[in-house]
Structure 1
Amino acid sequence: MSSETLKATAELEVHEVFNQWLKAARVKDVDGILACYADEVIAYDAVLKLQFKGLQEYGPHWRYCMEMCGGDGIFEPAEPSIHADANLAFLHCLVRCGGEQDGEVKTSWMRGTQCYVRRDGQWKIVHEHFSAPFDMESGKALFDLQP
């Protein structure tokens, strides 16, 4: 196989894992979400803590986030971009995230990055980062920005 074919195959495989992650997040299937991560994942999420080390820390955080909102989760990526080689890949995009709170749908655009490694033929997320920009003067997150 040529290096271009290997790269295209790896990118397609990572895209499939990303779609699995999205599908699970949208129906709040925390076990399905967590199946996409390596045990040693390091995550920087926009909620609560600066850093989560390992699936044992990140799993309860995902459960907490899924319980915050009613209804299905809203996870809508805009133009995900994947770069991969045989065993390492990263994906970045803007993601519209949210759900229902107090009978009202609330969402905001977040910046998202996931880094994947292939081990034993399976791609797993080893690093994830979600964030929202903020106003330096007020210190408030800018949740109303649009792409």
Structure 2
Amino acid sequence: MKTQVNDSAAEQELRQLISTWSQAVKRQDIEQILAIYAKEVVAFDAIGQLQFKGLDSYAAHWRACMEHCPGEGVFELHEVAVQAQGDLGFAHWLVRCGPPSTDGSEPQVCWMRASACYRRGAEGWRVVHEHWSAPCDMETGKTLFDLQP
């Protein structure tokens, strides 16, 4: 029995979706950002609550984040890895991100990591689970935002 390890067409579709989504985040196009999430999404974001259940909850969080950081900031995906088979896909990446500078200086940026699980249905690919995090120092409890890949 031969098992297909990766569906290259589905992988390309997901890469395009991730690219379009990341540009929407950079532009703060909230409607295009939210368009990729399933109604039943469960998200573990690095900011705020322990978890967000459902699109309405996560949409409110996205809107609050955009209000907190108005204007185009830094949002660059690196080392994007995608796998897909059938109607399920998985991706992870590192992201260099930060709010826009308000005084003309260099923006304060950090590195984070993210992973997402996608399911393909009648509406196309949608994120059903997303997880954002940053490593921390176990002894000090401080988040290590200054690490480099």
What TM-score, normalized by structure 2, do the two folds share?
Answer: 0.91
Q: 2:15 — aligned with what?
A: 15
Q: Distance in 2 between matches of 1:73 and 1:58?
A: 20
Kept after mapping to 2: 8 A contact 1:66/1:73: no
Q: Distance in 2 between matches of 1:109 and 1:32?
A: 23
Kept after mapping to 2: 8 A contact 1:99/1:107: yes
Q: Distance in 1 between matches of 2:144 and 2:67?
A: 23
Paired residue for 1:140, among 133, 139, 142?
A: 142
The structural deviation recorded for 1:87 is 0.2
Q: Distance in 1 between matches of 2:70 and 2:53?
A: 27
Moved more, 34-43 or 116-125: 116-125
The structural deviation recorded for 1:86 is 1.5
Q: Distance in 2 between matches of 1:35 and 1:128?
A: 14
The structural deviation recorded for 1:40 is 0.5
Q: 1:129 — aligned with what?
A: 131
Give percent identity, aligned residues only: 48
Point out where structure 2 has 5 or more consecutive residues left out of the alignment.
none
- Secondary structure class of the residue paired with 1:66: helix
Runs of 4+ in 1 over 4 A off after TM superposition: none
Q: Distance in 1 between matches of 2:15 and 2:127?
A: 12
What TM-score, normalized by structure 1, do the two folds share?
Answer: 0.92
Q: 2:49 — aligned with what?
A: 49
CA RMSD of aligned residues (A): 1.6
